[in-house]
């Protein structure tokens, strides 16, 4: 198995939202993740069912972020609304994801962690599978890209008992 980079997780502060906005606007991400304005992030950040996490490298530099929404819902569990890294293709996303699993399951009673991902984002789907997530289904034509095309999204999850056994 490939050695993953070391990633530490911390709760984001409101000042981290500029990093979040800048990171989700990296060239090439326009068809891989949604993008919010700083005002939309500020609204989401202040919601009681939302947590922003920042991934840091061993030097303490921010290298990615995760938005959890809903956070610890008694029925749905915890949804990873968005996960974005500054430098894709280097294992950082998977390391951030696995650190987030630990962070969530050690701090909540959440029975599952789940997300949806564009079907065409094959690198992310592979990283989620490698981290132990299962494919639960497909949401057909469930997102409209900026150019107007509609695309499908996979729903993937990791149950608490699967994480504990892994």
Segment 64-86, tens digit of pLDDT: 999 999 999 999 999 999 999 99
Instruction: Look at 46-50, 95-99, 124-128, 162-166 and tell me which has the smallest mean pLDDT.
Output: 162-166
The whole-number pLDDT of residue 1 equals 44
Tokens of 134: 């299962």
Average pLDDT (148-155) is 95
The whole-number pLDDT of residue 48 equals 96
The whole-number pLDDT of residue 166 equals 60
HSE-up (13 A, CA, CB side) for residue 135: 15
- How big is the CA angle at 113 (ends 112 and 119), to the nearest 5 degrees? 125
pLDDT above 80 (res 9): yes
pLDDT above 90 (res 3): no
User: Cα dihedral angle (162, 131, 95, 32), rounded to 10 degrees?
Assistant: -130
The whole-number pLDDT of residue 2 equals 61
pLDDT above 80 (res 154): yes
Give the Cα separation of 49 and 31 in Å (integer). 26
Per-residue pLDDT band for 165 (boundaries 50, 70, 90) equals confident
- How big is the CA angle at 112 (ends 111 and 114), to the nearest 5 degrees? 160
Radius of gyration of the chain (CA): 15
pLDDT above 90 (res 145): no
H or E stretch covering 77: none
The whole-number pLDDT of residue 91 equals 85
Residue of 23, 79, 89 lying closest to 51 (CA atoms)? 79
Cβ-contact 55, 7 below 8 angstroms: yes
For residue 6, the SS3 value is coil
pLDDT tens-digit series, residues 102-134: 999 999 999 999 999 999 999 899 999 999 999
Cβ-contact 124, 117 below 8 angstroms: yes
């Amino acid at each position: 198995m490939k050695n993953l980079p070391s990633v530490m997780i911390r709760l984001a502060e409101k000042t981290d939202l500029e990093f979040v906005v800048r990171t989700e606007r990296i060239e090439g991400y326009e068809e891989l993740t949604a993008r919010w304005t700083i005002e939309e992030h500020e609204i989401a950040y202040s919601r009681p069912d939302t947590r922003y996490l920042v991934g840091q490298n061993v030097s303490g530099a921010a290298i990615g972020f995760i938005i959890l929404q809903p956070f610890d819902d008694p029925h749905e569990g915890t949804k990873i609304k968005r996960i974005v890294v500054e430098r894709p293709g280097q294992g950082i996303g998977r390391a951030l994801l696995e650190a987030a699993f630990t962070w969530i399951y050690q701090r909540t009673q959440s029975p599952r962690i789940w997300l949806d991902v564009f079907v065409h984002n094959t690198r992310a789907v592979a990283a989620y599978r490698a981290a132990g997530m299962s494919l639960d289904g497909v949401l057909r034509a469930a997102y409209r890209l900026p150019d107007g095309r509609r695309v499908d999204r996979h729903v993937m999850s990791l149950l608490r008992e699967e994480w504990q056994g892994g």
